[in-house]
Structure 1
Amino acid sequence: MSHPSYASDTTDNRGSFLRSLEVIGNKLPNPAILFLLLIFGLAALSAVLASQNVTAIHPLTHKLIPIKSLFSQEGLHWFMTDMVKNYINFPPLGMILVLTLGIGLVEKTGLMESLIKTAIHTIPKRFITFTIIIMSFMSHLASDAAIVVVPPIAAMVFYSMGRHPFVGFACSLAAIYSGFTANILIVTTDVLLSGITTQAAKIVDPNMIVTPVDNWYFMCFAVFYLAILTTIVTEKFVEPRMGKYMGEQTVFLEKPSGLQLSSLKAAGWSTLAFVAILVALVAPEGALLRNPETGGIPGSPFIKGIVPLLFLFFLTVGLTYGIKARTIKSGDDAVKMMTECVRGLAGFLVMVFAIAQFIAAFSWTNISTLIATSGADFLKSIGMTGLPALLCFMLFGQFMGLFIASGSAIWSLLSPVFVPMFMLLGYHPAFIQVAFRAGDGAFNTIQVVNPFLPLFLETLKKYKEESGIGTYLSLMMPYALSFFAMWYALFIFWYLMGLPVGPGVPQRLW
């Protein structure tokens, strides 16, 4: 499937605020330059705070954590010795490179085009938006890999139907990122957060255990609630205001050919074979991909190796389809397809360098820890109880999410303070965890420190060459505000109704 790589126009019917946001945002420097400037600003701030001997107290270890200056000798040594490591070890970098190889092969062989054609003629058009949103929620099973894989596909689906590709991208990304952790299945986030909550809860009750299923009722309901409302927001607000996509495009509305259908069938059989082998490696007791220490799935090579597994899956189905469809006639063809896709990541690789340095510096100076602990101390000191206290806690977690990309990192900082505090007020730790999760996600798409921002911009540039940070922010802002309202409304409703958040898990301890 081809995409316009040059500038394209849209009929922009959005409100003046969103248009202004895009214009102003696009006047900002290139993201790589912007984050380099932010590093200098962070360095100046760290120098001022360090000169005043500002410290934070770690909520778990209770140790003093001093603010470290980037302009000090220690800061210079850190930067010189860790600059390359900051870049190479930047979590999304390797994942995106590896998945691009697999996804690129799937796209270049024509598999994606055939799959989209089939979907367009199979799924009623009025359900396409809802289907994409539900699939985006379910893709949380792949953790952060879903952010890389699903929104670009959603954009391609909308593009192929003659709808604005930005809208497909945005509604999918909002479901994954602003609806983060909402899922029908138990995913890695449930395991990770419950472990952190259990550790914090033991400060008050050494026998308290929070399990991965303790938020399941709330999160399962949230999927359908959020999916329905996100569909309405998309079709009644975002899409009409985006206007008609005017880029010169090839809209693949015709039915797939006989060769494409037979190739898809072959790819389907290879998918079944791949899944069957994977089940054999995971399901039986003592299977190769289970956790060798516990014998379970949490913490297993299966969970930790989800990106390599996805790469192997894309490689399997891409090669099967390509060979059957005769778009791959030799090994060189497959290598050229993957090379072409990686070549398109050049701009992304430059932007990631600057973002990786900023995020590493933000953590090294301990300023992120200072913000978290200072805010937690303030909320604890004002002495509010009940729903107002929970809402303030949610807002603070949301504020932290603008500066710290990892939700688990934020929860690791906040849980030792807030879990014991709310437990002493009579709330179950699993319910406190729900409050954090409901307050953490809405603004993920517009957070200041977003490790996936370069990838998002590269996707948008495929359809509108001049797309920048302003384009992205104006596109995602309606979803960020909508998810903010939806999450808080759901939590307030759940609280007032006194509903359990999971099997056998009430809101209160007494």
Structure 2
Amino acid sequence: MEATSENRSPGRLFSWIERVGNKVPNPFLLFVYLIVVLMVATAIISALDLAVKNPSNGEIVRVNNLLSVAGIQWILPNIIKNFSSFTPLGSILALVIGAGLAEKVGLLQSLMVKMASRVSRRYASYMVLFIAFFSHISSDAALVVMPPLGALIFLAVGRHPVAGLLAAIAGVASGFTANLLIVTTDVLLSGISTEAAKAVSDTVHVSVIDNWFFMATSVIVLTIVGALLTDKFVEPRLPKWQGNGEKLAALTPLENRGLRAAGIAALLFIALMALLVVPENAPLRNPATGAIIPSPFIQGIVPIIILFFFVVAIAYGVVTRQIRRPDDIPQLLVDPMKGMAGFIVMVFPLSQFVAFFNWSNMGKFMAIGLTDVLESAGVSGAPAFLGLMFLSAFLCMFIASGSAIWSILAPVFVPMFMLLGFHPAFAQMIFRIADSAVLPLAPMSPFLPLFLAFLQRYQKDAQLGTYYVLIFPYPLVFFISWIALLLVWYLLGLPIGPGVWPKLP
């Protein structure tokens, strides 16, 4: 079943975006073209001998020419390595194996039906978004698991699955840095901010909880805003859903027993993890400090999630007789991996482009150059907030790693904000807003083709432009809402974390 092709794009602007977006080449060809453009650009910049100065260490940064002898000598031996070592590839494929088994045995579908029986149609959007925000504890795994789950939840309550898919993508992507709990992003960025702050003061420290109050509040605000956007704007404008009268049937007694078995298995798994993490000297804590963040537990969260999927899926599958013998398990894993073939093909040029971008220093060159422009313009106060936001959002469209961008921006903006009287954690918070909000739109994101593949499950003729026109309202509204929340927070002088205010004492 799929959506009809009736076009109900909200106004001329979105119709134009869809037309332009649909002219964008296939993602595979798009990255091939971008590689060619990048190689030519590096040759031109190198020939002009342009350079910028890295503010963090005074290093003169020049662009490495990909078309030079050294460039060709680097490219050829590294093509296979670039592909095989592309970090998201292994994590995504491994997660698909785990989540795919749960889907093939029917666990996810049964779970969504059970959840839907306890949730009204009216509040489905709120539930999907809130779960998506909570799922950030699993880091990138949430970007793989949540979108199809959101679609299934909406399908289970009789609503448009594409609306559920989009709401889930908004929660896990546009709201990626909005968290109720402390996650790996807090640890990574706070360390970078602390180092940058040393340029002004050795006594100012940014801890992992310094953005907690603001980001936890963001979860509540964005859940409400995202749900209203889904219910009042996005879903009413979707093409009519044609399900041929098909509805998710009520659970059978066997499926209910399977869910109980999966629930027991989940509780046992969680209890085991608690024994390995909670006690003071637990083996999955940080062996040096005894902390949970960072620790082997946090570093191994993706394998733990995969193992969790296997445990509960096998428990469900055995009880429901979807798994009758061990040989059934690898057979059930084949179909989910078949669906990833297009993604794997697309990753090949994407991985080359990212590697070429890094080796050529083009990303660092662009980031430092753009920050120099803002710094030389003497922007401060609210213009500095907005300047950092829009610069970060722009760079996030070209550089997939948020920590890499912050590593370059922080040495400029953290000292600048401190000299203006602001806490470095406040500058970090501004960056997180921009970095997160535009994530679903970033062509450099390895998850973009995955989101498109999820959409095509329910709308077979969907193209990249279709995806952009459907998802675009979420980054836009989230970005505006976050800016409004930031300004209100700043004007009221509220603490952004325990004992931390926007301005330095």
Cα separation, 2, equivalents of 1:168 and 1:379: 39
Tell me whether 1:503 sits opposite 2:498 in the alignment.
yes
**AA partner of residue 471 (structure 1):** T
- Specify which of 135, 159, 174 is matched with residue 139 of structure 1: 135
**AA partner of residue 475 (structure 2):** A
After TM superposition, the structure 1 stretch with the greater mean CA deviation from structure 2, 333-342 or 384-393, is 384-393
Secondary structure in structure 1 of the residue aligned to 2:241: coil
Cα separation, 1, equivalents of 2:286 and 2:446: 29
CA apart distance, 1:8? 4.7
Tell me whether 1:383 sits opposite 2:383 in the alignment.
no
- Specify which of 446, 449, 455 is matched with residue 450 of structure 2: 455
Secondary structure in structure 1 of the residue aligned to 2:81: helix
Post-superposition Cα deviations, 1:409-441, rounded to whole Å, max 9, x if no partner, equal: 111111011111111111111111112112322
Q: What is the aligned partner in structure 2 of residue 464 from structure 1?
A: 459
Tell me whether 1:57 sits opposite 2:83 in the alignment.
no
Share of identical aligned residues, percent? 44
**AA partner of residue 247 (structure 2):** V
Cα separation, 1, equivalents of 2:34 and 2:434: 26
- C-alpha contact (below 8 Å) 2:167/2:230 kept by paired residues: yes
Tell me whether 1:262 sits opposite 2:257 in the alignment.
yes
- C-alpha contact (below 8 Å) 1:247/1:463 kept by paired residues: no
Cα separation, 2, equivalents of 1:58 and 1:116: 50
- Specify which of 195, 202, 221 is matched with residue 217 of structure 2: 221
Structure 2 vs 1, CA of residues 339 and 285 (structure 1 numbering), >3 Å: closer, same or farther? Answer: same
CA apart distance, 1:249? 7.3
Q: What is the aligned partner in structure 1 of residue 429 from structure 2?
A: 434
Tell me whether 1:81 sits opposite 2:46 in the alignment.
no
Cα separation, 2, equivalents of 1:237 and 1:14: 11
Q: TM-score, normalised by structure 1?
A: 0.96
Secondary structure in structure 2 of the residue aligned to 1:56: strand
Q: What is the aligned partner in structure 1 of residue 294 from structure 2?
A: 299
Q: How do 1:37-436 residues align onto structure 2 when only pairs under 5 Å count? A: 37-246=33-242, 248=244, 250-252=246-248, 254-436=249-431
Secondary structure in structure 2 of the residue aligned to 1:198: helix
Post-superposition Cα deviations, 1:134-158, rounded to whole Å, max 9, x if no partner, equal: 0001111001110011111111222
- C-alpha contact (below 8 Å) 2:34/2:353 kept by paired residues: yes
Cα separation, 1, equivalents of 2:24 and 2:63: 29
Post-superposition Cα deviations, 1:159-216, rounded to whole Å, max 9, x if no partner, equal: 3444222211111111111112111111111111111111111121112211111111
Post-superposition, which runs of at least 4 consecutive aligned residues in structure 1 deviate over 4 A? none
**AA partner of residue 211 (structure 2):** N
Cα separation, 1, equivalents of 2:52 and 2:347: 29
- C-alpha contact (below 8 Å) 1:439/1:487 kept by paired residues: no
Cα separation, 2, equivalents of 1:440 and 1:414: 12
Cα separation, 1, equivalents of 2:243 and 2:349: 31
CA apart distance, 1:247? 5.2
Cα separation, 2, equivalents of 1:66 and 1:27: 34
Post-superposition Cα deviations, 1:475-497, rounded to whole Å, max 9, x if no partner, equal: 11111211121111111111111
After TM superposition, the structure 1 stretch with the greater mean CA deviation from structure 2, 312-321 or 210-219, is 210-219
Post-superposition Cα deviations, 1:430-455, rounded to whole Å, max 9, x if no partner, equal: 11111211232221111131111221
Secondary structure in structure 1 of the residue aligned to 2:32: helix
**AA partner of residue 404 (structure 2):** A
Q: Which runs of 5+ in 1 are unaligned?
A: none
**AA partner of residue 144 (structure 2):** V
CA apart distance, 1:303? 0.7
Q: TM-score, normalised by structure 2?
A: 0.97
Structure 2 vs 1, CA of residues 51 and 160 (structure 1 numbering), >3 Å: closer, same or farther? Answer: same
- C-alpha contact (below 8 Å) 1:446/1:473 kept by paired residues: yes
Cα separation, 2, equivalents of 1:60 and 1:299: 25
CA apart distance, 1:108? 0.7
After TM superposition, the structure 1 stretch with the greater mean CA deviation from structure 2, 78-87 or 310-319, is 78-87
Cα separation, 1, equivalents of 2:432 and 2:285: 28
**AA partner of residue 57 (structure 1):** K
Secondary structure in structure 2 of the residue aligned to 1:122: coil
- C-alpha contact (below 8 Å) 2:455/2:462 kept by paired residues: yes
Once superposed, what is the RMSD of the aligned Cα atoms?
1.4
Cα separation, 2, equivalents of 1:413 and 1:107: 41
Cα separation, 1, equivalents of 2:116 and 2:90: 33
- C-alpha contact (below 8 Å) 2:177/2:433 kept by paired residues: no
Cα separation, 1, equivalents of 2:404 and 2:74: 22
After TM superposition, the structure 1 stretch with the greater mean CA deviation from structure 2, 186-195 or 457-466, is 457-466
- C-alpha contact (below 8 Å) 2:133/2:171 kept by paired residues: yes
Cα separation, 1, equivalents of 2:84 and 2:57: 30
Cα separation, 1, equivalents of 2:436 and 2:98: 29
Cα separation, 1, equivalents of 2:424 and 2:24: 43
Post-superposition Cα deviations, 1:216-243, rounded to whole Å, max 9, x if no partner, equal: 1111111001110111111111111113
CA apart distance, 1:248? 4.8
**AA partner of residue 295 (structure 2):** S
Cα separation, 2, equivalents of 1:176 and 1:481: 15
Cα separation, 2, equivalents of 1:106 and 1:335: 13
Q: What is the aligned partner in structure 2 of residue 34 from structure 1?
A: 30
Q: Which runs of 5+ in 2 are unaligned?
A: none
- C-alpha contact (below 8 Å) 1:186/1:212 kept by paired residues: yes
After TM superposition, the structure 1 stretch with the greater mean CA deviation from structure 2, 333-342 or 25-34, is 25-34
Cα separation, 2, equivalents of 1:47 and 1:320: 57
- Equivalent pairs counted in the alignment come to 504
- C-alpha contact (below 8 Å) 1:43/1:71 kept by paired residues: yes
